[in-house]
């Protein structure tokens, strides 16, 4: 045994110079830019993107209605979400936008975690408590929950960003940076020609709410963005077009970059 180990060690030692030379040669001749993540603006950053709902939620009423912890009270595990008048579901819209956001953030060097990994009729959840805690154990820099609204009020359109209040012991620790994240996301969407909500959030596009598990259970800065009103025919046209969804994604990424500096 000892002799075999000694032989193995000799082999390793003998191989070391060759390995080093190979690495050096590979670096010198590699046509790709060297280690792009070092110069990437979001290198080392961790972002959780939470696409609201799940396409199959309506098929699982018992599971979806189960009460879960929501920050001092309980809420149903999840809801079905809204849709355009033409039947394009919120779950699908926010899934598509969130995937674009994740791709762009990864391209900038960030590590991105999504809270769901499919958009399927035979899937449900996760529950809002799981979404709320999604950034905590991984020390995320922020968590962005992506939704769209469904208001039948006449002329209702525009986005709003929901941020948690100063409420101990739940969100007292995150309400300040979350408010700054809300302003950043608002700025990013405004920069990409989206308008603030005409029908809610006091007209400034930022709402403060204490009733959302997705915000209450987070220990990292978090906001929920309602990208627009899916029941508005004009906004539905933007949401159902690939170019419109790409513009939403650029607005959200711009907001994340503002926040992360
Ligand atoms: Zn929603």
Q: Where are the domains of the chain?
A: 44-260
Contact 194, 157 (CB under 8 A): no
Asked if 235 is an active-site residue, the reply is no
Q: What is the pLDDT of residue 39?
A: 73
Which CATH topology does 44-260 take?
Aminopeptidase (3.40.630)
For residue 25, give the 3-state DSSP assignment: helix
* Section 153-182 average pLDDT: 98
The per-residue pLDDT of the chain, averaged, comes to 90
- Ligand 1 midpoint to CA 28 (Å): 50
Q: How far apart are CA 89 and CA 232, in angstroms?
A: 14
- pLDDT of 28 higher than 90: no
CA of 92 to the centre of ligand 1 (A): 11
Position 150 pLDDT exceeds 80: yes
Question: Is pLDDT above 80 for 15?
Answer: no
Q: Measure the CA–CA gap between 156 and 226, rounded to whole angstroms.
A: 13
Question: 125, 97, 96: which is closest to 256 by C-alpha?
Answer: 97
pLDDT tens for 126-136 read 999 999 999 99
pLDDT given at position 35: 52
Residue 4 has pLDDT above 60, yes or no: no
Query: E strands within 95-134?
Result: 111-114
What token pair was written down for 72? 């001092």
Q: How far is the CA of 145 from the centre of ligand 1 (A)?
A: 9
Q: What is the pLDDT of residues 186-216, one digit of tens each?
A: 999 999 999 999 999 999 999 999 999 999 9
Q: Does the pLDDT of residue 22 top 80, yes or no?
A: no
Pairing of strands 74-76, 67-69: antiparallel
**What is the mean predicted confidence (pLDDT) over 63-72?**
98
CA distances from 218 to 121, 130, 134, 221, 259 (A): 28, 10, 7, 7, 17
CA 239 to centroid of ligand 1, rounded, Å: 14
> If you average pLDDT over residues 7-28, what whole number do you get?
37
pLDDT more than 90, % of the chain: 85
* pTM of this structure: 0.85
């Amino acid at each position: 045994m000892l002799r075999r180990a000694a032989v193995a060690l000799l082999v390793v030692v003998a191989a070391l110079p060759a390995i080093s030379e190979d690495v050096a040669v590979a670096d010198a001749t590699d046509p790709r830019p060297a280690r792009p993540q070092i110069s990437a603006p979001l290198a080392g950053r961790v972002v959780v993107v939470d696409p609201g709902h799940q396409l199959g939620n309506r098929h699982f009423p018992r599971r979806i209605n189960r009460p879960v912890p929501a920050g001092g009270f309980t809420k149903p595990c999840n809801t079905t979400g809204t849709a355009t008048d033409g039947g394009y579901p919120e779950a699908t819209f926010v899934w598509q936008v969130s995937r674009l956001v994740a791709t762009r953030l990864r391209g900038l060097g960030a590590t991105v975690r999504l809270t769901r990994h499919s958009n399927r009729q035979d899937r449900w959840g996760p529950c809002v408590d799981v979404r709320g805690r999604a950034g905590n154990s991984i020390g995320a820099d922020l968590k962005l929950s992506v939704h769209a609204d469904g208001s039948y009020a006449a002329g209702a359109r525009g986005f709003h960003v929901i941020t948690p209040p100063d409420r101990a012991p739940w969100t007292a620790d995150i309400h300040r940076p979350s408010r700054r994240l809300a302003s950043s996301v608002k700025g990013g969407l405004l920069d990409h020609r989206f308008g603030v909500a005409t029908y809610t959030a006091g007209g400034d596009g930022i709402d403060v709410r204490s009733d959302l598990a997705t915000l209450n259970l987070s220990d990292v800065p978090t906001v929920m963005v309602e990208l627009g009103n899916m029941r508005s025919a004009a906004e539905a046209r933007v949401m159902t077009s690939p170019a419109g969804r790409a513009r939403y994604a650029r607005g959200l990424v711009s907001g994340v970059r503002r926040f992360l500096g």
